[in-house]
Amino acid sequence: MSDAGRKDWSDKMKEGITPDSSKSSQQKVKEAVTDTGDKIARGVQPDHDKSTGQEISDKFGRSKDEHVHGGTGESVMDKTKNALGLGDKH
């Protein structure tokens, strides 16, 4: 079960194990859009406001993104604030 407006972990798992070669272009586009929306929601909602399952899933997702893409360890909100010049001034 996922939190309202979030992608269910079982859907993520199914998408991950289905080879891209067997997906239609429409399915690939839908997954890309829903993945992006879910990543935004993951960064906006604090972990303490999430269900336990969603919190674990989000922590795993952040860890995977950090490993695969590298990064600063900042949340989406922190990156947005810094881009707008509203972040912490060290």
pLDDT tens for residues 34-84? 888 888 888 888 888 888 888 888 888 777 777 666 666 666 677 777 777
**Three-class secondary structure of residue 70 per DSSP:** coil
70: left (phi over 0), alpha (psi -120 to 50) or beta: left
DSSP state of 56: H
**Secondary structure letter of residue 5 according to DSSP:** T
Indicate left, alpha or beta for 85 from its phi (over 0: left) and psi (-120 to 50: alpha): left
Taking residues 7-36, what's their average pLDDT? 88
pTM of the model: 0.59
